[in-house]
Amino acid sequence: MGIGRTGSRRRTLFLVLVALLFVAAVKTAAGDGGGVAGSEDGEGFLRLWTDGGGEGDDQENFFKWDEEEDDDEDDDDEDDDEEEGHIMMWGKKTGRRPPTCRNVVNVDSFGAAGDGDADDTEAFANAWKTACSLESAVFLVPAGRRYKVGASTFTGPCKNKMTIQIQGTIVAPEEPSEWDPRSPRLWLLFSGLAGARIQGGGVIDGSGSKWWANSCKINKSNPCKAAPTAVTLDSCRGVRVKGLRLQNAQQMHLTVYRSRNVRLAGVRIESPEDSPNTDGIHVAESSAVSIRNCRIGTGDDCISIVNASSNVRMTNIHCGPGHGISIGSLGKGGTYAAVENVALDTAWITRAQNGVRIKTWQGGAGYVRNVRFSNVAVDEVDHPIIIDQFYCDAAGGAAGCRNSSTSAVQVSNVAYRNISGTSRRAEAIKFACSDAVPCTGIVLADIDLRRSDGDGGGGEVETVCNCAVGFDYGCVRPAADCLRSSTCGGAPDGRRHDEDKGKQAEARTTPAPIRHTEL
């Protein structure tokens, strides 16, 4: 603990020194009259960098990345690891006794065949009813077996200390025609759980290939239909998901919905690069969500954070292939959206359409605010940094997109720090913000992006701004002077905004990107 306190004091001193340097830089910029970022913007940036710029008890310490807080989480993880190891050894039938003071409920005891062919849905449902009624229960899916399970709901609240121990493989029916029409959007739903642990190192396989083939994004002649999300946590509190592997989801892999204080750690998610709408982790209407040490490669966003979500923290994320790490899309169909206090610290993004992205539809309302992306390495990414307030993936291309001159989701207080690597396109940094509601408080610090050696490689990269207000600090490559001079209706290279919109409309006549289907 002494070492932790010493490190914390050193960290605090370092932040104070950095803050003083930022204040000096901002005052200098304001005095020169060359930028839009005056002292008020600088102070706002400092608040964002140190505590998110938010107010209220829930927000006070969210962005501080405190070493002692991480130590506390590690201590909890060590306790959980010891118990999990005992459960796993027993689940592998090594001859060990069942875990002390735990009521182990094995799905095999309820008639599950575990051969990958027989339908084990009913056995899982009956085992769950028993496990949920017992104190300190372990709902066990044993190792070395493959369980075919259809659409299922695992409903709480359950008795205290519930553990869902998945050591084997749970596989969905392959044929969409076999799917229960009463559950078109859900496969494995965990609802109303409090304090449960979902763990075990097993596999959840959505058997999604035939669903993808039937998608309107793959076969344009097919109607657009919803497909199931592999795992959904709905209305849960204090749930931990650890060490699972999700693959080949019919659509999204793991959704956190209407939940609070959820921790996801060591989750691995895999689907082919061309699989439609297969977001890795999707957060909606949830708060206090932690995503740590995850490796995600899919055909859509590695992580997507949408409406009514706040206090989302991501650390040590490997992303790619896919569409990057995204906030949005938001504001579709003129709806109101609110996302705030989102932080990403340490990520590796490779072979992705985007790096870190915020995307909103024209005509929406609400806000995205207090966002921080830091310590991100990108490799072969189309747009490493992008805010797109003209996002549209409507079927029919530009004709289906609404262009509003009066409303948009407001984007403010977004900070980017220590982002480096290679961009496949010249527009490595793109702030396409709305004329009606410009982006404000955009800050770039210590950015180093270069053109990759792929198609069109060897050229320069650039920062493009429209209606984006903020400033850059430290070494920023490509230069982001446009943040200090961007005006609505014009881009830094002299092109008129109407021309840009025309090019955007032209781009949308090509096959549209894969559409999100959100809860």
Give the C-alpha separation, 165 to 162, whole Å: 10
Pick the catalytic residue: 323, 383, 497, 516?
A: 323
Strand-pair category, 336-350 with 309-319: parallel
Q: Locate the DSSP E strands across 351-438.
A: 354-360, 365-381, 383-388, 410-423, 427-432
Give the C-alpha separation, 370 to 63, whole Å: 10
The two three-digit tokens of residue 21, written as one number: 């340097």
Q: Which of 388, 397, 432 is nearest to 508 (CA)?
A: 397
SS3 state of residue 309:
strand
Give the C-alpha separation, 393 to 239, whole Å: 33
Q: What values do phi and psi take at 509, rounded to 5?
A: -80, -15
Q: Which of 88, 157, 102, 166 is nearest to 135 (CA)?
A: 102
Q: What values do phi and psi take at 46, rounded to 5?
A: -60, -40
Give the C-alpha separation, 377 to 462, whole Å: 18
Give the C-alpha separation, 205 to 207, whole Å: 6
Active site residue 282: no
Is the torsion defined by CA of 405, 410, 413, 414 positive or negative? negative
Q: Which of 517, 436, 439, 420 is nearest to 478 (CA)?
A: 420
Whole-angstrom CA distances from 428 to 319, 336, 462, 465 are 18, 29, 6, 11
List residues with catalytic annotation: 323
